[in-house]
Amino acid sequence: MSLAVESKDVLRDQVRQSLKRVPGTLDRARLLYFDRPSYALSGKHENEFDIKRAVAARYGIPFRSVVFAGSSQLGFSAVKDTSFEIGRSDLDVACIDAKLYMEFWQIVVSSTRSFQDEYKFSKPEHMVKMKDHILRRGMILLDFLPRCARRTAEMAFQDELRAQYRHIFGRVSIAVYMNESSFCWKQSQSINAVMG
């Protein structure tokens, strides 16, 4: 792979410098996640395009509604203070679409009887995290979906993407966001960590 390996400190400084000229969390998130190519797919633009196209087609959402986050986008995890590692790090995919968000919200609510059936979740903490993500972030992480046919299908899709790009990513994780603001606010923790 043609990915030039740079230290997370160098990458962090580069990101910090680019963010200094942009005020506000929302615009800073837009700059980092909507206006930059993926670090992990540097020199492999066709892979970035193909992944985003496959995700957009699966969910029937606009191509521009699919963005990458985390260390695969920046080259480092600002919160965990780790570097992107080829073949080991995750690809965090964000689908930003209100209709898709409502579709998954309905799956969560109906299959858990409005969170009354905690045994539908693989782990008790998944229910807690799902509630928190919905309430505080306008986000549904598909890894935490309750057990149902749709969860099985979504895990299979993530596994297919991982298998296809296993030479780059350790796994693929998809999250659905209510809107662009929800996605941007979710990234505020990383942005604040970068800015110090």
Q: What pLDDT does residue 5 have?
A: 57
Q: pTM of this prediction? A: 0.92
pLDDT in tens, 53-82: 999 999 999 999 999 999 999 999 988 989
Question: CA triplet 70, 156, 3: central angle to 5 degrees?
Answer: 35
pLDDT in tens, 165-185: 999 999 999 999 999 999 999
* Closest to 16 measured CA to CA, from 85, 75, 86: 75
Span 107-136, mean pLDDT?
94
The three-class DSSP label of residue 88 is coil
Torsion, Cα of 130, 164, 49, 107 (10° steps):
-30
* Closest to 144 measured CA to CA, from 161, 160, 130: 130
Q: What pLDDT does residue 6 have?
A: 73
Q: What pLDDT does residue 196 have?
A: 83
Q: What pLDDT does residue 14 have?
A: 94
Tokens linked to 31: 């700059």
Q: What pLDDT does residue 56 have?
A: 98
Give the length of the chain.
196
* Closest to 62 measured CA to CA, from 34, 26, 37, 90: 34
